[in-house]
Structure 1
């Protein structure tokens, strides 16, 4: 196989790069764009809160199931064909999601959309990287990284704008023209590497496919739904957690013993990739966790609209986009990726600690600006060096398999992050509520004075004295609960920051053999 057979030049490379970035963006934006439309969908489709949450869960399950298989599927069908088929599935399912007439139709089409979307992210990374010569591949990672980091940030403001000005089906319909153009450009310009001989139907690891789908599907369900279903007090969650553990055990055993595994686990024997998958998990935790927590805080505590909350994140996303080429350039000049990762984690700790200090029940918009710029710088310094570190000592087909592992771990890190954050906040709410109520005694003169002032205020608004007193108590309870929620958000920021700080010494201990560019020219998918 020719090493440079997939390198492109001039306008072909520009077109391939734009096509792949748009496909990656389509996939990532769709993970967050629906969040702001759930309320409207709920009313429109007559669904309960629990049912509508499945719109997010189903997409994530489809996504996580397909990502580890992308390497194998690309080898079976040819990368260009598989990539184009994924775009087509994603586009058709986007149309079907917009046309869904009931909640379970929407959930089914979201699951299928997730299956189509899973390939877009990992495969577009390899397509971009292989289109560039080895000396420019760090820059290729930077270009791809812009899409991955900016995508989750673009979702909420774009979704908020569409919901405010049009209606929820249009958050799916906007994918259709982009999907059609991307399909045509993929079939016209993207080339497939030569693969080893394809497997016949008899040689396909059907048992591995089944075990993987059950294992990650069950795990994703547990993570997405655990908090709402009260975790292991719920029999379904308990059963699926057990199923997931056993399925993973048998999946690992199967993949290590079968002749033609669906996922090549032996590639994890590479030390750099093992470290990289752990770091990708932590990156996903921080990226999706903070993208989840900030809009939640600004909307529920500060009363902002979805569009305002989303717009708050835009300067940080622009900062990350600005950082990516600089970091790619530093890596090309031989700067060790573990140093950049360590600095990125320190900056992310400072951002988290800043968040811990700045949150109040009425924080102003200006207080977030520089804090979020720090987040943008930190994310920019983490994504490309982690990818480079993970894949730096892999060769040929292993690179595609490694990219699939880091992609899946980033996704699972986000799911674990959101699940842990929601559980932790529910726990901290109880702790802080008990602490605050212990200090708010009904016979305390300061409390009595505050209640009396509020009661007089309500009487001044025309309420009778007994109703005014009840309203004063309710208002006091509301103030306490708001303060409790703010303290829980503060704790989340503090502990995420500490997690990143603890990782720094371990990152610095990694011995990376990364002074030359990562050669991805033989990647599998």
Structure 2
């Protein structure tokens, strides 16, 4: 009974709860926007810092690795230092390192500061979700997840256009400087408003699960590096990738063994005995795969095939995010009304399949904004129906410190899903472009009249511009080669959308098999 009273004392009402909500959303947005905002600034960074493309890729990799290492440990760190202190310290680390990123004088300084920024940022996402969940009474927690979901869904798509606008109008350091005033506001709000639950005595340094921490870092850090660099380094043909894959597997094996046998583990794996959390963790992985995968592929397609600017490519995704944002409160109300989350998730997966099929059917080398508007609106609806029900379902039967532990698992799963999605999509596009290119070339038989006619017409065009017949023929072959490669790339993008949709459709029957209690989800009396 004492534990229940303590948990209920974290619930806030009125203006104070509104301010806590603003603070949590601000922190979630800061963290997620920063995962994608640098993508459009990499070329400028490379030029001003004198770095290679491989070097500058570490600006993204360092942040992602730090992020996924910290996320599973957030619940334990909150218990050690107090949630309010840990949350505030994470915001301060994120804010200070953002300022240092903007002041970096060489690429490796920037990479180090990005890693530190990722350490602070990883905590923001999960802790913000836990604080929000516990600040709302049980019957309104689906609405809390809906509000949080707006930040998580809008963040990845807000990054590229915001980054593009800042780079076009100012310079790349300002993509980090904008975090500083927002971080200061979030720190003040956190220290003023957030309460820390009492979880009992802290662990002494001797009791700390240091080996668990080491195994977790080896597992997650190595896995994230393999996913980020696998395709460009030719996967398992590369000794570093092969070695780190083995290290990651061994790290996972020993991490699971350690956490299940140690008295005070750094990550409580036993919380995964909760059936709803098991389903939620798997669905979070698939959600991350779809969210980050589709956020990654659309800007690449529009920039590399259609020749759009970074800002225009980023702006294309905004209506989709706005649609998701509009839906969130309605979805929260639907859950409160007792509509089973599994039906909403199944509908979301089916709608996302429809979006993927729509994109598959309209992709060409001259597809316009007007063609992609409605598919992206459908994407927004699908993501809205997925995110809130998955998050609410995941945490619905947890209470006390298990809420934070559960949020850490779903957060890590979503981030890893995104990393897997981007790695697989990059590899798929690279491999299938070659496959389609070979197929297309096999149809370009030089003996065919239409092929000869086209080459002759292009050659004549170049001769009329002053080229010699041999130069003109070489130019004609070069243009034909470029056309084939572009068409092969478009076909590989179409395949990605088709298979992404099929993946979501396959999940529907499994979601419908979930056993869920009737009526409203009430986390106050379930365990």
Find the aligned partners of 1:146 and 1:339 in 2 and give their Cα distance: 21
Query: 1:172 maps to which residue?
Result: 176
Instruction: Flag structure 2 segments of 5+ consecutive residues without an equivalent.
Output: none
Does the alignment pair 1:401 with 2:428?
no
Instruction: Flag structure 1 segments of 5+ consecutive residues without an equivalent.
Output: none
1:478 to 466, 479, 482: 482
Q: What CA deviation, in whole Å up to 9, does each residue of 1:369-418 have, x standing for no partner?
A: 00000000000000011111212222222121111000000000000000
Find the aligned partners of 2:21 and 2:52 in 1 and give their Cα distance: 42
Query: 1:465 maps to which residue?
Result: 469
Query: 2:276 maps to which residue?
Result: 272
1:258 to 257, 262, 285: 262
Does the alignment pair 1:304 with 2:326?
no
Does the alignment pair 1:194 with 2:198?
yes
Find the aligned partners of 1:455 and 1:11 in 2 and give their Cα distance: 73
Query: 2:142 maps to which residue?
Result: 138
SS of the aligned residue for 1:203 comes to coil
Query: 2:224 maps to which residue?
Result: 220
Does the alignment pair 1:182 with 2:186?
yes
How far 1:520 moved relative to its partner? 7.6
Residues 399 and 520 in structure 1, CA contact (< 8 A), matched pair in contact too: no
Does the alignment pair 1:330 with 2:334?
yes
Does the alignment pair 1:12 with 2:16?
yes
Query: 2:95 maps to which residue?
Result: 91
Query: 1:388 maps to which residue?
Result: 392
Query: 2:421 maps to which residue?
Result: 417
SS of the aligned residue for 1:227 comes to coil
How far 1:446 moved relative to its partner? 0.7
User: RCO higher in 1 or 2 (8 Å CA, sep ≥ 6)?
Assistant: 1
How far 1:458 moved relative to its partner? 2.2
Does the alignment pair 1:23 with 2:18?
no
- The 1:314–1:455 alpha-carbon spacing in structure 2 relative to 1, beyond 3 Å, is same
Q: What CA deviation, in whole Å up to 9, does each residue of 1:310-337 have, x standing for no partner?
A: 1100100000001111111000010000
How far 1:256 moved relative to its partner? 0.3
Find the aligned partners of 2:193 and 2:334 in 1 and give their Cα distance: 30
Query: 2:436 maps to which residue?
Result: 432
Find the aligned partners of 2:429 and 2:326 in 1 and give their Cα distance: 33
Find the aligned partners of 1:520 and 1:90 in 2 and give their Cα distance: 34
Residues 391 and 518 in structure 1, CA contact (< 8 A), matched pair in contact too: no
Does the alignment pair 1:117 with 2:128?
no
**Could you say what the CA RMSD is over the residues aligned between the two structures, in angstroms?**
1.4
Aligned length: 523
- The 1:322–1:97 alpha-carbon spacing in structure 2 relative to 1, beyond 3 Å, is same
SS of the aligned residue for 1:470 comes to helix
Query: 2:348 maps to which residue?
Result: 344
SS of the aligned residue for 1:202 comes to coil
Find the aligned partners of 2:331 and 2:522 in 1 and give their Cα distance: 15
Residues 6 and 131 in structure 1, CA contact (< 8 A), matched pair in contact too: yes
Find the aligned partners of 1:43 and 1:274 in 2 and give their Cα distance: 46
Does the alignment pair 1:281 with 2:281?
no
How far 1:197 moved relative to its partner? 1.5
SS of the aligned residue for 2:462 comes to helix
Query: 2:159 maps to which residue?
Result: 155
TM (norm. structure 2) is 0.97
Q: What CA deviation, in whole Å up to 9, does each residue of 1:400-458 have, x standing for no partner?
A: 11110000000000000000111111110111011000001122111111111222222
SS of the aligned residue for 2:206 comes to helix
Query: 1:452 maps to which residue?
Result: 456
Find the aligned partners of 1:247 and 1:133 in 2 and give their Cα distance: 39
Find the aligned partners of 1:29 and 1:332 in 2 and give their Cα distance: 29
Q: What CA deviation, in whole Å up to 9, does each residue of 1:252-293 have, x standing for no partner?
A: 000000000000001111121111111100000000000000
Residues 331 and 388 in structure 2, CA contact (< 8 A), matched pair in contact too: yes
Query: 2:68 maps to which residue?
Result: 64
Q: What CA deviation, in whole Å up to 9, does each residue of 1:334-359 have, x standing for no partner?
A: 00000000000000000000111000
SS of the aligned residue for 1:191 comes to coil
How far 1:514 moved relative to its partner? 6.2
Query: 1:503 maps to which residue?
Result: 507
Find the aligned partners of 2:402 and 2:133 in 1 and give their Cα distance: 15
Structure 1 stretch 410-419 or stretch 513-522: which is displaced more?
Answer: 513-522
Q: What CA deviation, in whole Å up to 9, does each residue of 1:58-100 have, x standing for no partner?
A: 0000000000000000000000000000000000110111111
How far 1:233 moved relative to its partner? 0.5
Does the alignment pair 1:102 with 2:106?
yes
SS of the aligned residue for 1:53 comes to helix
Query: 1:370 maps to which residue?
Result: 374
Query: 1:315 maps to which residue?
Result: 319
How far 1:200 moved relative to its partner? 1.1
Structure 1 stretch 314-323 or stretch 196-205: which is displaced more?
Answer: 196-205
